[in-house]
Structure 1
C-alpha cells in the first residue's frame, strides 16, 4: 500500500509542481503575484474538453490546444492589465487586485458559457490500460502526468540555463532596469513569460481534470491556494522550489488521506507547511532580503 501511495503522490504532486511553475515564473520575472492564474488553469481544462467533445481531437492535440489558448489568455492579461500598470509604476498590491478582477470575470464567463455543473471527459479519451507490477497499479493517466511534467521541467530548466532567452530572463529577474540598459527587450520578455506561464497553468488544468475526471468553473480556486502555498514553501520565484514544493504538497495530501483520513488532508498538508516555514521563513530555496540603514 505504501508503494502505491508513492505513485499516487508523485502524480498529484507533479500537477501541483507544474501549476506552481507557471505561478513562480510570473513572480520571478514580472514581480507580480498573478491571482488570475487559477482561472487560467480552468480555461485550459475547458479548452481541452471542448477540443475533445466538439472537434473530436485526441487528447495530445487537446493538450496543445489548451497550451495555446491558455497562453493567449495569459498574454492578453499582460497586455491589457499588467503592462499598463507597469507603465504607471503602480504599487505591488494593484496588480494583485486587478488579477482578482480578471479571475472573477473568467470564472463568470465560464459559468455563463458552460453552466455550473461538473463536466467530464468522454470515456476512452485516455487509454484505460495500466501497469501491474509487484502489487502496484499505475494507470495511463498517472504515467502521462508524471512523464509530461518531467519533460516540461527538464526543457524549462535547460532553456533557462543554456539559451540566450533564458539568460536574458534571469537578467530581467535580477533587475529589469539594468537589463534594459544592456539592450534586452524587457517588455517582450515580460510577454513571453506571461504566455509560457499561463500555458503551463493551462496544461496543469488539463492534467488535473483528467486525473479527477471533473471540469467546473471554480476548479482553479483551490488550486490557486495550493499554488501560493507551494511557491512560498519553495522560495518565491525559484523554479527548483516550485518543483520540490509541489511534490511535497502532493505527498502530504496523499499520505494524509491514506493514513489519517480524507477530512484531515488539508489540515495535515498545510500544518506541515506551516512548521517548515517556522524553521525557514524564506522557503526552501528563498533568500532573505537584507535591510540596510
Structure 2
C-alpha cells in the first residue's frame, strides 16, 4: 500500500486540480447571481469535444505530426476557451438573463434544461459527423518522468501546471484588475453597484465568459489525461466540482480551489485503497459514493463550507 501511495497522490492531484478549475465556474456564478449553473458541467464537456475535434482535424490534415506538442496544445486550448466562452455568454443571454428577477427555482430549471440540450446537441453532431459519439483523440504528451519512488506522466505535469496557472491568473484578475473589483462589488450588492456606475449586465456577462472559458480549458486537460470522451462526462465531473465548491465555500474562489484538490485526493485514495481496506467488500467503484457523502456531510454540519461565512438574515 505504501509503495502505491506516491503514484496515487500524483493521480489525485491531477484530478483534483481539474475539479478545482471547474469548481471556479460554479462559485463565480453563484457569487454574482446566487444560483447554481448546472449547465457548467456540460460546458466543460463541450470544451473537451472541441479540443479533441481540433486535434483530430489537425491530425487528418497531416499538420499535427511535425508540430511541437506544446504549440498544438496551446492552440487547442485557446480555440476551446474561445468557443466555450462564447457559449457561456450565449447561454447567459438567452436562458438566464430573461429569468433574472424570477423565483430562484426558475433559472435552476432553465440551467438543467440547457444541460440536457448541450448533451443531446453534442451527441447529434458527433453522430452525424463521425457516426459515433465516443471520441479517442490524439495524445500529445505520452512520456513519463521516473523520480525513483514514482513515475510521473508528462501529461500530469502539464495539467497541474496549466491548472495552477489559470487559478493564479484568475485570483490576480479578481483581486487587482478594475473588472475584478467590479465583479466583487456586484457580488456584494447589485443595486448599489449599479448606482456606482458599474454595468451589472457586462459584469455578469464577463463572469460567464471567464467561468465558461476555464471550464472549456479543463475539458481539453481532461481529454488529454484520459484519451476517451463522451457527451456524459460533464455530469459526474460537474457534480464533483460542485461538491468541491460547496466544500470550500460556494462563492469563495480560494475555497473552490482547495475543495477541488481535496476531493481529487480523497477520490484517488478511495479508488486505490477501498478494496484492500475492506477486504474486497467495497471496490474502486465506490469512490463516487465517498465524494457525494462529503457533500451531504458538509451540507449537514457546515453548509457555508470550510472557507465560507454564514450569512445572517436581518429580520
Asked whether the two chains share a fold, i.e. TM above 0.5, the reply is yes
Which residue of the partner structure matches residue 179 of structure 1? 193
Q: Measure, in 2, the Cα distance between the counterparts of 1:72 and 1:30.
A: 19
Q: Measure, in 2, the Cα distance between the counterparts of 1:80 and 1:274.
A: 32
The answer to whether residue 140 in structure 2 is matched with residue 126 in structure 1 is yes
Which residue of the partner structure matches residue 242 of structure 1? 256
Q: Measure, in 2, the Cα distance between the counterparts of 1:160 and 1:272.
A: 28
Q: Give aligned pairs, total.
A: 289
Picking from 182, 198, 203, the partner of 1:168 is: 182
Calculate the TM-score normalised by the size of structure 2: 0.88
Preserved contact between residue 37 and residue 111 of structure 2 (Cα < 8 Å): yes
Would the alpha carbon gap of residues 284 and 5 (structure 1) be closer, same or farther in structure 2, given more than 3 Å must change?
same
Q: CA deviation at 1:179?
A: 0.5
Q: Which moved more, 1:59-68 or 1:125-134?
A: 125-134
Preserved contact between residue 20 and residue 246 of structure 1 (Cα < 8 Å): yes
The answer to whether residue 78 in structure 2 is matched with residue 64 in structure 1 is yes
Q: CA deviation at 1:292?
A: 2.9
Would the alpha carbon gap of residues 48 and 225 (structure 1) be closer, same or farther in structure 2, given more than 3 Å must change?
same
Deviation above 6 Å: which 4+ runs of structure 1?
none
Which residue of the partner structure matches residue 49 of structure 2? 46
Q: CA deviation at 1:102?
A: 1.2
Preserved contact between residue 240 and residue 292 of structure 2 (Cα < 8 Å): no
Q: CA deviation at 1:273?
A: 4.3
Would the alpha carbon gap of residues 96 and 18 (structure 1) be closer, same or farther in structure 2, given more than 3 Å must change?
same
Which residue of the partner structure matches residue 310 of structure 2? 288
Preserved contact between residue 53 and residue 137 of structure 2 (Cα < 8 Å): no
Preserved contact between residue 246 and residue 298 of structure 2 (Cα < 8 Å): no
Calculate the TM-score normalised by the size of structure 1: 0.94
**RMSD, aligned CA:** 1.5
Picking from 102, 111, 122, the partner of 1:110 is: 122
Which residue of the partner structure matches residue 109 of structure 2? 97
Q: Measure, in 1, the Cα distance between the counterparts of 2:35 and 2:294.
A: 26
Q: Measure, in 1, the Cα distance between the counterparts of 2:186 and 2:313.
A: 22
Q: Measure, in 2, the Cα distance between the counterparts of 1:281 and 1:84.
A: 29
Structure 1: gaps spanning 5 or more residues: none
Q: CA deviation at 1:277?
A: 4.5
Which residue of the partner structure matches residue 148 of structure 1? 162
